[in-house]
């Protein structure tokens, strides 16, 4: 149909203004139900109504329509009929922003968006709508300003015999039908309070960015921790608010992330802020809060929460989420009353923080994330439900986590083909037991440095060899060199620690030694495999110099546990009783952080400061050891404790033997055959010399520890060959290990 030039006019009545239709005279018969109005270069589609009070040749627009189309009274417009393609332009879902038409009429009542949607469809059924269009909507005797944000068309494949494709195409112009869905959202800065399901689709999707993933975030090995945090802290925020309201559920307001340094606490907190479509997180280092002026520290806490308080007053339940991240929270939230002689600043800071998170005037739009390596220092009131109630340990990554972390840190090298094909990430993950995320990153850096170093010319000046540098690749050998030389785990096995105890190897001089090692192997297997006994402890007891410490070190080394530590008296020389207790406690606490741990408590009577004169011993250390020997590790962790002592009788009196699961006796060498076997394994004497010694000790009762025997052999070895055997037997007699009748027959 041909276009017609008409003049723009005002809508004749307020009632017609609320219909969202343009109005022409009832005698105009040129147009169908919907029309296109062309204003200069723009086209707008409206639904048509007829009314006798409109002059012929004019077309009436309401004020919102004139504002939207930038149209003035009397302006000439071109009007043509418009026909909808109902296979592609029927509205499935319409997203609209709503606010009070006049701010002075705003109120704090709740408006049910479900009822609004029903009313909206009844009022505007079969009408044309465009994205960006503005209109006035009357509901509950109040006028609201509505703006069309987004529209999706019904899937045309639904009309066919096949299945729907699932994709709903966007439309700029659509027709509202009785089965369309209208989703209301409050306009930005609106003080309206909406309830009901019809406004929740956007709310559910808006809090979490749809495109985040662990790889992009640079976080690995924390999948379980992330899922636990989401379950506790974000499920209620993502769920439809009306269901949350019906359940009377309150949002979690605080999370405490704790664990060893370098395991990703700060990284996780930083990325939670990026992952959520919330306000920019406020990141605070604990010590920054403290101020030398009275009251300033508390004022700094209040400033952190000011924005959240202001928004909650204005917008109520519709307020956005405010995230406040406290790094090193133990610096400002120490136990109240714990600092003798202090000014009490820490106490008032804790009080201020408690009142803001969960005081009389509760804030429901905040999430406080605290991070610390020392959760034991934090005031317990801060950790109860309603405050930092989600306590999440960010521990050392397991093998799967280490694979993820290494993949993240080698991704760029892999993309640019700078990682050699012989580098096996899974092999590296096995080799890096008890490495934290930061240590794994350091390992990759060290391997890169090793690889780069190969391409530096060794001359008077430091230069890069450009010819070979272009072929730079980080190989398996670079990683292995960095593993053995550069990066050692802070919580793990210090090989030098126990290597010194078995530097001469284990001398299997007889069945007793093999039996001890077999029993040790069984105890290691029990620790690994048994679900009923997460704590296994064994006491190796026997005379001095019988090799107890070496056997304990050998059992721990063969266990291949990721965490092995030796608690030895030689590292606690000069320690006070309290310092000694703290050092022992720290070793056990570190052990609890690993999945599988072995602690060797060497020379227990020396740790206890035992002397027979008196007798005297440290009761404080004794009680600490008794508690730690019986204390099972946390759930999911396994611990093997190997104790050594030369004074079983003393431990019996102290009631310490009962703290061990089992006791194994380590005997001295007590027979000539065993002595000769030990000499043969040590290889210090020739065959004819060993035969002489065997004849000399035949029928004699022996009692010598392998450690003492080794010392005597080395002393005799310094003599001339013809005197070595005589000197050795003489030394044995002097030590009381051999009877006086022994003589040398050559």
My answer on whether 73 and 39 are in the same domain is yes
- pLDDT tier at 185, thresholds 50, 70, 90: confident
My answer on whether 131 and 238 are in the same domain is no
Is residue 346 in a domain? no
Average pLDDT value for residue range 557-572? 87
My answer on whether 13 and 46 are in the same domain is yes
**What tens digit of pLDDT does each residue of 186-214 get?**
887 787 888 775 544 444 334 555 455 55
My answer on whether 71 and 116 are in the same domain is no
Is residue 344 in a domain? no
Is residue 137 in a domain? yes
Q: Six-digit token pair at 251?
A: 């949002």
In this prediction, residue 386 carries a pLDDT of 83
- Of 665, 696, 726, which closes a domain? 665
- pLDDT tier at 640, thresholds 50, 70, 90: very high
Residue spans of alpha helices (H) in 631-740? 648-653, 672-682, 687-697, 706-716, 724-734
My answer on whether 531 and 652 are in the same domain is yes
- pLDDT score of 500 more than 80: no
In this prediction, residue 469 carries a pLDDT of 65
Long-range contacts of 653-661 (CB under 8 A, 24+ apart): 654/608, 654/617, 654/622, 655/626, 656/604, 656/622, 656/625, 656/626, 656/629, 657/539, 659/537, 659/625, 659/626, 659/629, 659/630, 660/537, 660/538, 660/539, 660/629, 661/533, 661/535, 661/536, 661/537, 661/538
- Of 451, 486, 521, which closes a domain? 486
Is residue 202 in a domain? no
My answer on whether 374 and 235 are in the same domain is yes
Average pLDDT value for residue range 158-168? 46
In this prediction, what percent of the chain has a pLDDT beyond 90?
16
The CA distance from 398 to 401, in Å, is 5
Q: CA Rg, the chain, in Å?
A: 40
Least confident of 328-332, 333-337, 378-382: 333-337
In this prediction, residue 356 carries a pLDDT of 84
Average pLDDT value for residue range 586-593? 88
Cβ neighbour number for residue 67 with a 10 Å cutoff: 11
In this prediction, residue 344 carries a pLDDT of 55
In this prediction, residue 495 carries a pLDDT of 61
The model's pTM? 0.62
**727 an active-site residue?**
no
The secondary structure element, H or E, covering residue 675 is helix 672-682
Is residue 413 in a domain? yes
The CA distance from 73 to 330, in Å, is 68
My answer on whether 626 and 719 are in the same domain is no
User: 367 pairs with which residues across the strands?
Assistant: 323
**372 an active-site residue?**
no
- pLDDT score of 664 more than 90: yes
**347 an active-site residue?**
no
159 neighbors 88 (Cβ within 8 angstroms): no
- Beta sheet of 390-393, edge-to-edge order: 282-285, 322-327, 366-372, 254-258, 390-393
In this prediction, what percent of the chain has a pLDDT beyond 70?
86
**602 an active-site residue?**
yes
**What tens digit of pLDDT does each residue of 678-729 get?**
888 887 788 888 888 888 888 777 888 888 888 888 888 888 777 888 888 8
Domain with residue 228: its CATH number is 3.40.50.300
Least confident of 70-74, 268-272, 550-554: 268-272
In this prediction, residue 159 carries a pLDDT of 38
Count of domains observed in the chain: 6
Is residue 201 in a domain? no
The catalytically annotated residue of 548, 554, 565, 593 is 548
My answer on whether 472 and 511 are in the same domain is no
My answer on whether 76 and 218 are in the same domain is no
Domain with residue 30: its CATH number is 2.40.40.20
Is residue 285 in a domain? yes
In this prediction, residue 604 carries a pLDDT of 93
Provide the strand spans (E) within 427-476.
Answer: 456-458, 462-464
Average pLDDT value for residue range 9-19? 88
Q: How many residues does the chain have?
A: 746
Mean residue pLDDT across the chain: 82
The catalytically annotated residue of 266, 602, 638, 644 is 602
In this prediction, residue 163 carries a pLDDT of 41
Average pLDDT value for residue range 504-532? 89
518 neighbors 681 (Cβ within 8 angstroms): no
The catalytically annotated residue of 603, 644, 645, 708 is 603
Average pLDDT value for residue range 72-88? 87
Taking the CA atoms of residue 378, residue 384, residue 389 and residue 392 in that order, the dihedral angle to the nearest 10 degrees is 50
- What's the domain range around 12? 4-81
In this prediction, residue 343 carries a pLDDT of 53
In this prediction, residue 278 carries a pLDDT of 61
Is residue 58 in a domain? yes
Residue spans of alpha helices (H) in 593-666? 604-607, 619-630, 648-653
The catalytically annotated residue of 549, 565, 644, 645 is 549
The catalytically annotated residue of 216, 224, 630, 733 is 630
**348 an active-site residue?**
no
My answer on whether 523 and 540 are in the same domain is yes
In this prediction, residue 155 carries a pLDDT of 66
148 neighbors 94 (Cβ within 8 angstroms): yes
My answer on whether 386 and 431 are in the same domain is no
User: C-alpha angle with apex 206: 145 to 101, nearest 5 degrees?
Assistant: 10
**586 an active-site residue?**
no
- Of 665, 697, 725, which closes a domain? 665
In this prediction, residue 588 carries a pLDDT of 92
Question: Residue 689: helix, strand or coil by DSSP?
Answer: helix
My answer on whether 727 and 708 are in the same domain is yes
In this prediction, residue 467 carries a pLDDT of 65
The catalytically annotated residue of 149, 168, 274, 707 is 707
- pLDDT score of 265 more than 90: no
The CA distance from 523 to 537, in Å, is 8
595 neighbors 638 (Cβ within 8 angstroms): yes
């Amino acid at each position: 149909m041909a276009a017609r030039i008409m003049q723009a006019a005002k809508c004749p009545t307020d009632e017609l203004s609320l219909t969202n239709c343009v109005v022409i005279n009832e005698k105009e018969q040129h147009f169908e139900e919907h029309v296109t109005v062309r204003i200069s270069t723009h086209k707008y589609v409206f639904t048509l109504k007829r009314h006798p009070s409109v002059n012929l040749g004019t077309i009436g627009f309401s004020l919102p329509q004139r504002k939207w189309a930038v149209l003035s009274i009397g302006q000439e417009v071109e009007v043509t009929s418009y026909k909808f393609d109902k296979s592609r332009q029927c509205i499935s879902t319409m997203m609209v922003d709503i606010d009070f038409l006049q701010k002075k009429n705003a109120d704090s009542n709740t408006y049910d968006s479900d009822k609004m949607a029903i009313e909206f469809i009844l009022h505007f059924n079969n009408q044309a709508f465009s994205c960006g269009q503005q209109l006035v909507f009357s509901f509950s005797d109040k006028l609201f300003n509505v703006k069309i944000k987004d529209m999706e068309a019904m899937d045309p494949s639904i009309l066919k015999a096949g299945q729907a494709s699932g994709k709903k195409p966007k439309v700029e112009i659509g027709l509202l039908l009785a089965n369309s869905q209208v989703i209301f959202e409050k306009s930005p800065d609106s003080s309206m309070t909406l309830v009901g399901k019809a406004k929740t689709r956007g709310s559910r999707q808006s809090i979490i960015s749809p495109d985040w993933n662990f790889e992009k975030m640079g976080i690995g090995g924390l999948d379980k921790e992330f899922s636990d945090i989401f379950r506790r802290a974000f499920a209620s925020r993502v769920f439809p608010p009306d269901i949350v309201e019906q359940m009377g559920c309150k949002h979690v307001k605080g999370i405490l992330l704790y664990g060893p340094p370098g395991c990703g606490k700060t990284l996780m907190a930083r990325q939670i802020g990026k992952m959520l479509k919330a306000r920019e997180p406020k990141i605070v280092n604990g010590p920054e809060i403290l101020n030398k002026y009275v009251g300033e520290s508390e004022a700094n806490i209040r400033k952190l929460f000011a924005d959240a308080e202001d928004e909650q007053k204005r917008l109520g339940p519709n307020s956005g989420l405010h995230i406040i991240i406290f790094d090193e929270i133990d610096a400002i939230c120490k136990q109240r009353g714990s600092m003798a002689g202090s000014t009490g600043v820490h106490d008032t800071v804790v009080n201020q923080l408690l009142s803001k998170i969960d005081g009389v005037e509760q804030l429901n739009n905040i999430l406080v994330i605290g991070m610390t390596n020392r959760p034991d220092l934090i005031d317990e009131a801060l950790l109860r439900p309603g405050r930092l109630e989600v306590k999440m340990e960010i521990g050392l990554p397991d093998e799967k986590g280490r694979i993820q972390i290494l993949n993240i840190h080698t991704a760029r090298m892999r993309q640019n083909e700078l990682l050699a094909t012989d580098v096996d990430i899974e092999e590296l993950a096995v080799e890096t037991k008890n490495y934290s995320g930061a240590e794994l990153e350091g390992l990759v850096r060290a391997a890169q440095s090793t690889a780069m170093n190969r391409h530096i010319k060794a001359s008077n000046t430091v230069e890069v060899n450009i010819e070979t540098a272009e072929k730079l690749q980080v190989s398996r050998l670079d990683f292995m060199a960095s593993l053995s030389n550069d990066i050692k785990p802070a919580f793990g096995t210090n090989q030098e620690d126990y290597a010194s105890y078995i530097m001469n190897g284990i001398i299997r001089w007889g069945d007793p030694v093999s039996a001890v090692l077999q029993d040790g192997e069984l105890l290691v297997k029990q620790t690994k495999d048994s679900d009923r006994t997460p704590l296994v402890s064994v006491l190796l007891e026997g005379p001095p110099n019988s090799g107890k410490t070496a056997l304990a070190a050998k059992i721990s080394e063969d266990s291949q546990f990721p965490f092995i530590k030796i608690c030895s008296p030689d590292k606690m020389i000069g320690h006070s009783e309290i310092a000694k207790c703290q050092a022992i406690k720290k070793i056990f606490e570190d052990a609890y952080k690993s999945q599988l741990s072995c602690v060797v408590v060497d020379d227990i009577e020396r740790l206890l400061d035992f002397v027979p004169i008196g007798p005297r011993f440290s009761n404080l250390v004794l009680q600490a050891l008794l508690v730690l020997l019986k204390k099972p590790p946390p759930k999911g962790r396994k611990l093997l404790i190997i104790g050594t002592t030369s004074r079983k009788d003393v431990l019996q009196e102290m009631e310490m033997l009962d703290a061990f699961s089992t006791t194994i006796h380590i005997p001295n060498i007590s027979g000539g055959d065993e002595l000769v076997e030990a000499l043969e394994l040590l290889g210090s004497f020739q065959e004819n010399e060993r035969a002489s010694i065997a004849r000399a000790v035949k029928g004699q009762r022996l009692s010598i520890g392998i450690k003492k025997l080794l010392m005597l052999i080395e002393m005799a070895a310094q003599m001339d060959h013809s005197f070595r055997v005589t000197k050795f037997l003489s030394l044995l007699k002097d030590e009381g290990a051999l009877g006086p009748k022994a003589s040398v027959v050559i």
